[in-house]
Amino acid sequence: MSKEIRRIGVLTGGGDCPGLNAAIRAIVKTAHNDYDLEVIGFSDGYEGLIENRYRQIDIDDASGILARGGTILGTSNRADPFHFPVLQGEEYIYLDRSSQAVRNFESLGLDALIAIGGDGTMAASARMAKEGLPIVGVPKTIDNDLFGTEVTFGFDSACVTATDAVDKIHTTAQSHHRVMIVEVMGRYAGWLALCAGLAGGGDIVLMPEFPYDIDAICDAVRTRNARGKTFSIVVVGEGSRPVGGEMTVARTIATSPDAKRLGGVSHSVAAQVEGLTNIECRVTILGHLLRGGSPSAFDRLLATRYGVEAVHMVVRGQTGIMVGLQNQQMVAVPLEDVAGRIRTVTPNHPLVKAAQSLGICLGVSSSVPLEEHYKDPVAS
Ligand code: F6P
């Protein structure tokens, strides 16, 4: 028989995305309506737990937020409890604040914590679970790269935004006979580039998993021109890199567990394609636009299902796990299986096969099987 649950905490960590408020709402409503639990919301992810910044959230606080982007709790992607940045004078030093987080959790009389986040939050949660915190993770990220679940909420909304952008870019591409390059987020996984490319009718899709060969891209553009298609649309994942080259780092944020912030690879693709083909190229980088706005209906439903199930799992005493979606069913995935892993686009994925069948160029020469072009974006 599991321990009686009376009071639970909730936090949102990592980059924001559409659907966070829908998940918070589902957690609070299920906690109140089904189990009469109190809910404490921590501000700014694990930062709030470490610094004891929180507030009680009741049904009224969780009402009217379903369609709202962002997170009413605030978030942070610099709050690793085991390597927590603290400003000392003009410099940051890094302290292990995990035991402070445990003490705050205990002094608030909490019975469980629901941590909504991406890979960084799940990795921190796996370690905090080992320190004794009963945690249930809820997977979000526009990158859709969390291990243990087929889909994260936030991804569908970002895909809708990116597809809309690719649709709109088509008109200028056609009118001016240009190569138009649309860069999307997706640090170590090309899901957003692949899906927006497919849904938006892109001609060339570049992903972090398949280092690109500029000649293959130019050949695809020339082949289209020869067919009378005097424009091309390229959708580029921000983590894409050339064969033998590196990802394009826009800036580094020392206090962040993953310090690199990517962006700008499409400028070098544009310069090279223009130089080699003599066709004018233009770049549009969608960036944080993809993380904003109201969640799609799909994401509202998914975030709601995850939130409801997370509370049921807490009450059943299932902790140390993340809620996942597998074969349309809600499942519990051990946090330690999720931590430190990324779900990348694989060469044999049905969407990759579909892209190939449609004649979309994946930035590599088709004379060798795609499997041979795959390179793990994290390891390499
Ligand atoms: O992981 C989500 C994500 O949006 C990535 O796609 C992107 O590389 C990163 O976060 C950007 O983070 P920041 O908000 O710190 O610029």
CA of 60 from ligand 1 middle (Å) equals: 31
Q: Is the pLDDT of residue 130 over 80?
A: yes
Other beta carbons within 10 angstroms of residue 370's beta carbon come to: 18
pLDDT of 3? 79
In ligand 1, which atom is closest to the CA atom of 238? 8
Terminus-to-terminus CA distance in the chain, angstroms?
Answer: 46
Where in the sequence of the chain do the CATH 3.40.50.450 domains occur? 7-153+295-338
- Atom nearest to 253 CA in ligand 1: 15
In this predicted structure, what is the pLDDT of residue 2?
65
Residue nearest atom 2 of ligand 1, based on CA coordinates: 15
Q: Which of 185, 195, 248, 291 to mutate to test the pocket of ligand 1 (most atoms within 8 A of CB)?
A: 185
Considering the candidates 143, 145, 156, 299, report the single residue annotated as catalytic: 143
Q: Are strands 112-117 and 7-12 parallel, antiparallel or unpaired?
A: parallel
Asked if pLDDT for residue 380 goes beyond 80, the answer is no
**9-37: string of b/e by CB count within 10 Å (b at 16+)?**
bbbbbbbbbbbbbbbbbbbbbbbbeeeeb
In the predicted model, is pLDDT for residue 173 greater than 90?
Answer: yes
Confidence of residue 379 (pLDDT cuts 50, 70, 90): confident
Task: Tell me how far the alpha carbon of residue 121 lies from the centroid of ligand 1, in angstroms.
Answer: 13
Q: 239-248 pLDDT, tens per residue?
A: 999 999 999 9
Distance CA 27, CA 10 (A): 8
Dump pLDDT digits (tens) for 261-276. 999 999 999 999 999 9
> How many angstroms does the Cα of residue 15 sit away from the middle of ligand 1?
6
Q: What percent of the chain has pLDDT over 90?
A: 97
List, for residues 26-41, the tens digit of each pLDDT value: 999 999 999 999 999 9
Q: Whose CA is nearest to atom 14 of ligand 1?
A: 15
Q: CATH number for the 158-291+346-373 domain, one of 3.10.450.100, 3.40.50.460, 3.60.130.10, 3.40.50.150?
A: 3.40.50.460
Residue 263 CA to ligand 1 center (angstroms) comes to 10
Give catalytic status of residue 143 as yes or no. Answer: yes
Per-residue pLDDT, 354: 98
Q: Which residues line ligand 1 (CB under 6 A)?
A: 15, 77, 118, 141-143, 185-187, 238, 261-262, 291
Atom 11 (ligand 1): residue with closest C-alpha?
261
Mutate to test the pocket of ligand 1, among 291, 342, 344 (most ligand atoms within 8 A of CB): 291
Give which of 98, 106, 93 is closest to 80, Cα–Cα: 98
Architecture of the 7-153+295-338 domain: 3-Layer(aba) Sandwich (3.40)
318 three-state secondary structure: coil
| Parts of the chain belonging to CATH 3.40.50.460 | 158-291+346-373
Q: What average pLDDT score do residues 210-229 get?
A: 98
Distance 185 CA to ligand 1 centre (A): 7
Q: Does 167 have pLDDT greater than 60?
A: yes
Probe target for ligand 1 pocket from 44, 121, 122, 143, with the most ligand atoms within 8 Å of CB: 143
Residue 1, pLDDT above cutoff 60: no
pLDDT band at 23 (very low <50, low <70, confident <90, very high): very high
